[in-house]
């Protein structure tokens, strides 16, 4: 018997209760210490994500794909009780990408995603896990912050996609760096902050943007990370002197995306990351296509990430933890009983987490 946060996908709903889950045997038994809540969890709970799916023969889905866990029991000599690990979200199907550990690039859609599609997630007091699908956290001081490994691994992959695209022409400045290059990240949520920090790490002049002003707390954090912010709904806008070389969208809003696509520099890269199936349509015109073609602009999408990106994400977090206030990205901590947190996003949330156990 475990305590678990359950939904019934894709219809939605949320319940915290005791349940008996029949599981496969694996070499690790894990318990979550912290699990993160993101827009996907809220979308599943409010029934707006059609792709969410219960595991086969189950009439519920355990939520949760962002977590840091403690090893409770191990039959693998590489892990012992008390070790900290982050489990991977996606599990491979049988396509060629899945077979080489790149289920993030699954080519037939037959992968599973813990807490999202066809596999129970991590919001339960105990579960069995296969050690090939975990990455280790070797610093106990990083216990809480490691819950950001999962959202950060998306950013590590996103930048790998950007690097791959950037090889098609000279993309860096004449001094070989990105210090005169501009990046705009659309949105001011968890992924936007993490993309912003990474962009700044690469050397881009980086600004986050949204359609409204931000609270003093968020503005202070933006400044702590040496980022800029502009509210694109006002005239007091764009902070840089030249056009945008890199746009990363975390909003999934078509009208906003088009607005920034029209501001892109030659050889610009536009990375689609955010998704919002409910956003209203917006139309692209002939001038937009001319702009994209004549300026060699590349538009790409990026989803999820592989184990290699989780491992790099842990390294970035470890370094940032020493030099930046990354723990401030976690703006709220709740108990699993407080299921309201799945229904309403707190004002000024960046990342809300659930604390499990004592």
Binding site for ligand NAP (CB under 6 A): 38-40, 154, 186-192, 210-211, 250-253, 256, 273-276, 302-304
- Min dist CB 345 to ligand NAP, Å, is 7
Long-range contact set of residues 314-320: C-beta below 8 Å, sequence gap at least 24: 314/86, 314/135, 314/136, 314/137, 314/146, 314/149, 316/152, 316/156, 316/198, 316/201, 317/142, 317/145, 317/146, 317/148, 317/149, 317/152, 318/139, 318/142, 320/197
| Strands lying side by side in the sheet with 118-119 | 90-91, 112-114, 118-119
- Min dist CB 81 to ligand NAP, Å, is 31
SS3 56: coil
CB count within 10 Å of CB 223 equals: 11
CB count within 10 Å of CB 349 equals: 15
- Min dist CB 217 to ligand NAP, Å, is 14
Residue nearest to ligand NAP as judged by C-beta position: 189
SS3 313: helix
Q: Please say whether the beta carbons of 30 and 73 come within 8 A.
A: no
Nearer to ligand NAP, 125 or 275 (CB): 275
- Min dist CB 158 to ligand NAP, Å, is 8
Return the closest-CA partner of residue 61 out of 76, 81, 80, 47: 47
Nearer to ligand NAP, 109 or 140 (CB): 109
- Min dist CB 274 to ligand NAP, Å, is 4
- Min dist CB 104 to ligand NAP, Å, is 8
Name 209's bridge partners.
Answer: 186, 230
Name 12's bridge partners.
Answer: 8
Q: Please say whether the beta carbons of 122 and 87 come within 8 A.
A: yes
Nearer to ligand NAP, 189 or 336 (CB): 189
Close Cβ partners of 90 (under 8 Å, ≥ 6 residues apart): 103, 104, 106, 111, 112, 113, 114, 304
Nearer to ligand NAP, 170 or 255 (CB): 255
Q: Please say whether the beta carbons of 195 and 250 come within 8 A.
A: yes
Nearer to ligand NAP, 83 or 113 (CB): 113
Nearer to ligand NAP, 37 or 70 (CB): 37
- Min dist CB 9 to ligand NAP, Å, is 16
Nearer to ligand NAP, 288 or 290 (CB): 288
- Min dist CB 131 to ligand NAP, Å, is 24
Nearer to ligand NAP, 171 or 230 (CB): 230
| CA distances (Å), origin 79, targets 69, 73, 82, 102 | 13, 9, 9, 24
Return the closest-CA partner of residue 271 out of 153, 163, 109: 163
């Amino acid at each position: 018997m475990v305590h678990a946060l359950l939904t019934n996908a894709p219809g939605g709903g949320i319940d915290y209760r005791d349940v008996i889950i029949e599981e496969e045997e694996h070499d690790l038994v894990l318990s979550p210490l912290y699990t993160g809540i993101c827009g996907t969890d809220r979308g599943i709970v409010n029934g707006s994500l059609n792709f969410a799916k219960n595991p086969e023969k189950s009439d519920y889905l355990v939520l949760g794909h962002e977590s840091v866990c403690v090893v409770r029991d191990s039959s693998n000599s590489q892990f012992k009780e008390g070790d900290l690990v982050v489990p991977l979200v996606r599990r491979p199907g049988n396509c060629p990408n899945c077979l080489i550990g790149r289920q993030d690039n699954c080519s037939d859609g037959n992968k599973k995603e813990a807490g999202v599609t066809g596999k129970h997630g991590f919001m339960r007091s105990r579960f069995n896990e296969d050690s090939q699908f975990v990455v280790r956290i070797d610093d106990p001081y990083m216990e809480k912050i490691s819950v950001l490994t999962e959202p950060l691994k998306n950013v590590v992959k996103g930048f790998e996609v950007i690097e791959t695209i950037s090889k098609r022409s000279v993309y860096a400045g004449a001094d070989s760096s990105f210090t005169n290059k501009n990046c705009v990240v659309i949105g001011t949520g968890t992924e936007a902050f993490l993309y912003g920090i990474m962009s700044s790490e690469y050397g881009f002049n980086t600004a986050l943007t949204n359609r409204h002003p931000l609270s003093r707390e968020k503005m202070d954090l933006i400044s702590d990370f040496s980022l800029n912010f502009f509210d694109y709904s006002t005239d007091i806008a764009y902070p840089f002197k030249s056009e945008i070389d890199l746009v990363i969208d975390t909003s999934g809003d078509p009208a906003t995306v088009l607005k920034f696509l029209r501001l892109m520099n030659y050889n610009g890269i536009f990375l689609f990351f955010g998704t919002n199936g409910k956003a209203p349509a917006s139309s692209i015109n002939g001038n937009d296509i001319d702009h994209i073609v004549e300026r060699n602009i590349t538009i790409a999408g990026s989803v999820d990430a592989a184990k290699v990106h989780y491992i790099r994400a842990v390294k970035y977090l470890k370094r940032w933890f020493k030099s930046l206030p990354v723990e401030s990205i976690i703006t709220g901590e709740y108990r699993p009983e407080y299921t309201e947190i799945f229904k309403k996003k707190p004002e000024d949330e960046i990342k809300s987490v659930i604390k499990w156990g004592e």
